[in-house]
């Protein structure tokens, strides 16, 4: 997660918290108070308020904040009046330039600098792990009723579940994404991807039967889908063309995709390879570490303000420097090889990387 102060935060499932700034990693040895930010359930999310307060969420409550070296802890109550505390994962959603959102226990909150603010009950959420993403001043969410637009004032059902995909269970749908032209794309682990317009009308469904993890949009309006079994798929909405890219024939499961500011596409696989697509051609820029056995899933790819491409896998993390094509990738190995990173920058990331 890249905050407004230029720090790149690396979150871990059950390890220490650290960040990268000014060419090195910083942890609790530089900032002792960071030792207090260690959710028992492991890190699951991070978000920043407009005033610079950072909020950290785990797989369970409490939530913790960090402001100018001061740590605070907050545990939600029952949320809606008369409600009961349910077993569910608090979903902390970063909203650039706005107060972050918190979805927990069928309740909706906004995260301010001085603590969470209860907004209202939220029936569009699902029990367990909510599925939602930021869209404008609100959220797009998937639930039993279908695709819903949510604001502080209320919810609007955009497209019912049975319209998105007849005979497809609603739990198979994944996080919806709104593109710059207003179309909302909803991926599914069984039914490809569905496109819904601003009025909630289903425009089309494509790639039926494919397992699509997520959808990303590049600067030219192309959509990039990471799939299980078919590599990364590019959809050109204007030419109605589809392209398929793979790092190698025996590595078809794409687990992370990144569209950079200069138009390059990076994608990572569940075997630990990272490839770059430039001018319509795919080339591998980081290969699987042959010294490790088994899979090395790439969980996250992100670009920082300096143009570095950060990655997190099951066994290592680091960054590539496209501006220095001959430079060796900076790689950090986990101290505890038994720990698997889940993702980075907004979810969970590295276990404990050595500062310096």
Distance separating alpha carbons of residues 205 and 147, to the nearest angstrom: 15
Could you write out the DSSP letters of every residue in 296-313? Answer: --EEEEEE-TTS-EEEEE
Its pTM stands at: 0.81
What is the per-residue pLDDT across 91-139, written as a single tens digit (0 to 9) for each?
Answer: 889 999 999 998 887 788 999 888 888 898 887 655 556 788 999 899 9
CB 113 within 8 Å of CB 49: yes
Looking up tokens 């710059």, which residue turns up? 180
pLDDT, residue 103, reads 85
Q: How confident is the model at residue 52 (pLDDT cuts 50, 70, 90)?
A: very high
Looking at the predicted structure, is the pLDDT value of residue 342 above 50? no
pLDDT, residue 79, reads 63
What is the per-residue pLDDT across 264-307, written as a single tens digit (0 to 9) for each?
Answer: 999 998 888 899 998 888 888 888 766 655 568 888 899 988 89
pLDDT over 90 percentage in the chain? 19
CB 327 within 8 Å of CB 309: no
Phi, psi of 33 (to 5 degrees): -65, -20
Looking at the predicted structure, is the pLDDT value of residue 201 above 60? yes
pLDDT, residue 54, reads 95
Q: How confident is the model at residue 13 (pLDDT cuts 50, 70, 90)?
A: low
What is the per-residue pLDDT across 189-199, written as a single tens digit (0 to 9) for each?
Answer: 878 899 998 88
Looking at the predicted structure, is the pLDDT value of residue 347 above 50? no
- Give the count of beta carbons closer than 10 Å to the beta carbon of residue 41: 15
Q: How confident is the model at residue 334 (pLDDT cuts 50, 70, 90)?
A: low
Greater confidence (166 vs 158) lies with 158
**Averaged pLDDT score across all residues of the chain:** 80
The alpha-helical segments, DSSP class H, found in 116-245 are 161-164
pLDDT, residue 33, reads 93
pLDDT over 70 percentage in the chain? 81
Looking at the predicted structure, is the pLDDT value of residue 156 above 50? yes
Greater confidence (329 vs 290) lies with 329
Is cis: bond before 62, omega within 30 of 0? yes
Buried b (16+ CB within 10 A) or exposed e, 178-209: bbeeebbbbbbbebbbbbbeeebebeebbbee
Mean pLDDT score, 258-269? 91
pLDDT, residue 326, reads 75
Mean pLDDT score, 321-344? 61
pLDDT, residue 49, reads 95
For the beta sheet containing 43-48, the strands, ordered from the edge strand earlier in sequence to the opposite edge, are 43-48, 54-58, 63-67, 70-74
Q: How confident is the model at residue 354 (pLDDT cuts 50, 70, 90)?
A: very low
pLDDT, residue 346, reads 35
pLDDT, residue 177, reads 92
Q: How confident is the model at residue 81 (pLDDT cuts 50, 70, 90)?
A: low
Mean pLDDT score, 210-230? 88
């Amino acid at each position: 997660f890249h905050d407004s102060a230029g720090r790149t935060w690396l979150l871990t499932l059950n390890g220490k918290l650290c960040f990268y700034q000014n060419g090195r990693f910083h942890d609790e040895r530089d900032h002792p108070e960071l030792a207090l930010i260690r959710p028992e359930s492991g890190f699951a999310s991070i978000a920043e308020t407009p005033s610079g307060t950072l909020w950290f969420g785990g797989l369970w409550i409490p939530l913790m904040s960090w402001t100018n070296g001061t740590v605070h802890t907050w545990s939600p109550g029952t949320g809606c009046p008369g409600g009961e505390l349910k077993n569910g994962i608090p979903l902390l959603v970063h909203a650039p330039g706005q107060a972050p959102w918190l979805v927990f226990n069928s309740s909706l909150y906004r995260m301010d600098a001085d603590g969470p603010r209860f907004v209202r009950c939220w029936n569009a959420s699902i029990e367990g792990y909510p599925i939602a993403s930021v869209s404008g001043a609100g959220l797009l969410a998937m639930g039993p009723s279908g695709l819903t637009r949510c604001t502080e004032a209320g919810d609007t059902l955009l497209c019912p579940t049975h319209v998105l995909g007849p005979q497809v269970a609603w739990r198979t749908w994944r996080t919806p994404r709104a593109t710059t032209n207003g179309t909302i794309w909803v991926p599914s682990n069984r039914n490809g991807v569905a496109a819904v317009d601003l009025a909630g009308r289903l425009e089309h469904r494509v790639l039926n039967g494919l397992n699509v993890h997520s959808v990303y949009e590049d600067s030219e309006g192309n959509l990039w889908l990471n799939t299980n079994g078919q590599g990364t798929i590019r959809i050109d909405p204007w030419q109605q063309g589809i392209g398929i890219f793979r790092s190698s024939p025996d590595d078809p499961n794409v687990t992370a995709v990144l569209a950079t500011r200069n138009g390059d596409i990076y994608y990572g696989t569940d075997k630990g390879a990272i490839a770059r697509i430039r001018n319509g051609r795919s080339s591998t820029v980081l290969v699987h570490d042959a010294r490790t056995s088994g899979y090395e899933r790439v969980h996250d790819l992100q670009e920082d303000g300096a143009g570095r491409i950060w990655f997190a896998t099951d066994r290592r993390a680091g960054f590539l420097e496209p501006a220095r094509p001959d430079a060796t990738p900076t790689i950090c190995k986990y101290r505890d090889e038994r720990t698997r990173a889940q993702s980075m920058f907004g979810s969970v990331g590295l276990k404990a990387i050595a500062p310096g």
